[in-house]
Amino acid sequence: MGLDLKTQQRENLPVYAAAEGYISRIKVEPAGFGRAIYIDHPNGFTTVYCHLNNFTPKLEAYLKEQQYMQESWRVFLAIPSGLFPVNKGDFIAYSGNTGGSQGPHTHFEIRSTAGDVNFNPMLFGFNIPDNTKPAFLRLAIYDRNKSTYEQAPRIVPVKRTAGDFVTTLPIISVSSSRVSFAITGYDTHSGSSNLNGIYEAVLYDDDSAVIGFQMDAISYESTRYLNAHIDYRTKATGGPYLQHLSQLPGYVNSIYTNFMGDGIIDLSDGGVHAIRIRIRDAYGNTSALSCRIQYNGVLSSVTTPAGKLFHPLMLDVWESENCEFYIGEKCLYDAAHIKHLVSVSASAQVVSDVHTIGETYIPLQDSITIRIRPTIPVEGERAAKVVMQRVSGAKTDVQKVEWQGEWAAAKFRDFGRFQLVVDESAPVIVPIGFRNGSVLSTSSRIAFTVKDNLVKFKNVRALLDGEWLRFNNDKGRTFIYQFDEKCPRGAHTLFISAEDEAGNTGTGTYSFTR
């Protein structure tokens, strides 16, 4: 939760402190926030500035010193309160596009200093004119006699009338006695075309408030639970972004206010129910969507999905001869049938069957434990090189396994296809623009990438003449060192090592002259 502040598709615009305080933390990471500054303020709030480029010269010098002390480019540093005080409007950094940013901008957040709760910045009195009402794009209806992950919702078109919105059907006839709703909506500020999210929504059934949500604040521990607030399946399969107006059973400590239940509307009386949804932005501008809905008494055909039925808030297990998986109490948001399919890989590296577990459009809050028994014996040193690989389309992930007797176990936070792989191939160092014996007197930097057969590597280290050398690895792609006082003019030897999840290490040694 925060503000994405546009920078006219440019980088290196000055970023200023929002209020008096001191820089309490700085973060540098290849993804996520990239380069970020945290400022603690006397009123108990912390402001966060993300995707930055260079900090102030003094802060850059401190960062560099700490990185060399820790011998790590990736850091999250707690800074003593007296080192970097700031006043409102002080320059702190330049804007950028670092980390997980996909275009130049600055992400800004306001948190509680003590609890790291993230607050909606629009509630802090910023001078952003807004007299524009939020708007609805669509209404979705769910049959709540079955899982939200085992259906495609019924999308009902909406239209604007005299100031508000209605559905295009006078009465929506449904074949389910229990339904819930989701909406797609947006908000804009006056004079801006940027589409912002919905701040507040309340669902009414025959003029009685049933459930609502308000985006005031959310703790970082609860951020992943927002996967239960949206229709994850529809979004993951290429559909629109829909916000539920019901609380899924596995969504604990939710953002919802339950006025009369969890948002599921009982239509079993056969009568026409007047449904109204009111949305409001942080400035008090409101819009409403009205519709009428009725259960038609015609039972819809029910096809039970393949797989074992798992429930949220329950620990359960699926077992077969060569595969087991354990789904804990905090994994699922809604009940779902979790299927298991077995196939065979043609790869010589794979030493197990391929086990397809669940659907990738069913999100997980916590990791599930998967245990696989190899179908090809692996012993001794080869057993130490076994990793579990997850494949989903073009995406792969690997985890080092824990051997539990004949079983290899690992944890994953997504469903997909899983297999055991013996990885005996070391990562390969790929220099960019230099080689052993290069003369780099006119160059400003050294760069390289790392290639691994299973993509994922866990540790890359560079030594210049035996001393650790800091390489930037923004976005996790290319490792870059900009020449500085650490590499004076003359002859040098650069040693690079890269280790993957299986413990294989690739190295490269390069002599060069600067």
* pLDDT of the residue at 192: 66
From the list 425, 44, 363, 86, the residue with the least C-alpha distance to 226 is 363
Q: What percent of the chain has pLDDT over 90?
A: 82
Residue matched to tokens 């002259």: 513
Extents of the domains making up the chain: 3-123, 135-144+151-212+241-249+258-295, 308-422, 428-513
Statement: residue 299 has pLDDT above 80: no
Q: Other CB atoms closer than 10 Å to residue 501's CB: what's the count?
A: 22
pLDDT at 115: 82
Q: Which of 128-132, 159-163, 166-170, 395-399 has the lowest mean pLDDT?
A: 128-132
Amino acid in the structure at residue 179: V
pLDDT grade for 375, boundaries at 50, 70 and 90: very high
Distance in angstroms (rounded) separating the CA atoms of residues 489 and 482: 14
At 297, the pLDDT band (50, 70, 90 cuts) reads: confident
Measured between alpha carbons, how far is 65 from 25 in angstroms, rounded to an integer?
15
pLDDT for 194 beyond 80: no
**Mean pLDDT along residues 213-225:** 90
Which residues on neighbouring strands pair with residue 272, listed in sequence order? 294
> Which residue has 């952003």 as its token pair?
128
**Please, which pLDDT band fits residue 208 given cuts at 50, 70 and 90?**
very high
- Whether the pLDDT of residue 162 is over 90: the answer is no
Segment 49-78, tens digit of pLDDT = 999 999 999 999 999 999 999 999 999 999
pLDDT band at 394 (very low <50, low <70, confident <90, very high): confident
Instruction: Please determine, for residue 191, whether its predicted confidence score (pLDDT) is greater than 70.
Output: no
Encoding tokens for residue 357? 């577990």
Q: How far apart are CA 121 and CA 48, in angstroms?
A: 11
Strand partners, 142: 180
Specify the pTM.
0.91
Q: What pLDDT, on a 0 to 100 scale, did the predictor assign at position 31?
A: 93
User: What average pLDDT does the segment 417-439 reach?
Assistant: 95
d(CA 252, CA 249): 8
Q: What is the pLDDT of residue 52?
A: 97
* 11-35 tens-digit pLDDT: 999 999 999 999 999 999 999 999 9
Q: Predicted confidence band at 412 (pLDDT cuts at 50, 70, 90)? A: very high
Answer for the pair 183, 138: CB distance below 8 angstroms, yes or no: yes
Q: Per-residue confidence at 121, pLDDT binned at 50, 70, 90?
A: confident
135-144+151-212+241-249+258-295, which class in CATH?
mainly beta
Instruction: Please list the residues that pair with 388 across neighbouring strands.
Output: 399, 420
Percent of the chain with pLDDT over 70: 99
For 308-422, which CATH class? mainly beta
Is residue 132 over pLDDT 90? no
CATH of the domain spanning 428-513: 2.60.40.1220
**Residue carrying structure tokens 């598709």:** 9
- Kindly report, residue by residue over 485-508, the tens digit of the pLDDT: 999 999 999 999 999 999 999 999
Residue 129 has pLDDT above 90, yes or no: no
Other C-beta atoms closer than 10 Å to the C-beta of 128 total: 14
CB 38 within 8 A of CB 48: yes
Q: Output the average pLDDT for the chain.
A: 94
Confidence of residue 298 (pLDDT cuts 50, 70, 90): confident
Helix, strand, coil percentages (3-state) for the chain, rounded to 5, are 10, 45, 45
> pLDDT tens digits, residue range 448-459?
999 988 877 889
SS3 226: helix
- Please check whether the two domains, 3-123 and 135-144+151-212+241-249+258-295, share a CATH topology: no
d(CA 134, CA 278): 10
133's tokens? 């009402």
pLDDT tier at 337, thresholds 50, 70, 90:
very high
Give the pLDDT score at 187. Answer: 86
Query: Per-residue pLDDT averaged across 353-381, rounded?
Result: 96
What integer pLDDT is reported at residue 124 of this predicted model? 85
Average pLDDT over residues 331-345: 97
pLDDT at position 195 over 80: no
> Taking 90 as the threshold, does the pLDDT of residue 6 lie above it?
no
Q: How confident is the model at residue 400 (pLDDT cuts 50, 70, 90)?
A: very high
Distances (CA, A) of 64 to 78, 80, 85, 238, 363: 14, 16, 19, 43, 39
Task: Using the structure block, give the residue that is written with the tokens 């794009």.
Answer: 137
Alpha carbon distance 404, 481 (integer Å): 42
Checking if the pLDDT of 473 tops 80, the result is yes
Q: Which fold has domain 3-123?
A: Glucose Permease (Domain IIA) (2.70.70)
Query: Rounded to whole angstroms, what are the CA distances from 41 to 25, 33, 49, 86, 445?
Result: 12, 20, 14, 10, 38
Can you give the pLDDT at residue 135? 92
Question: Is residue 510 predicted with pLDDT exceeding 70?
Answer: yes
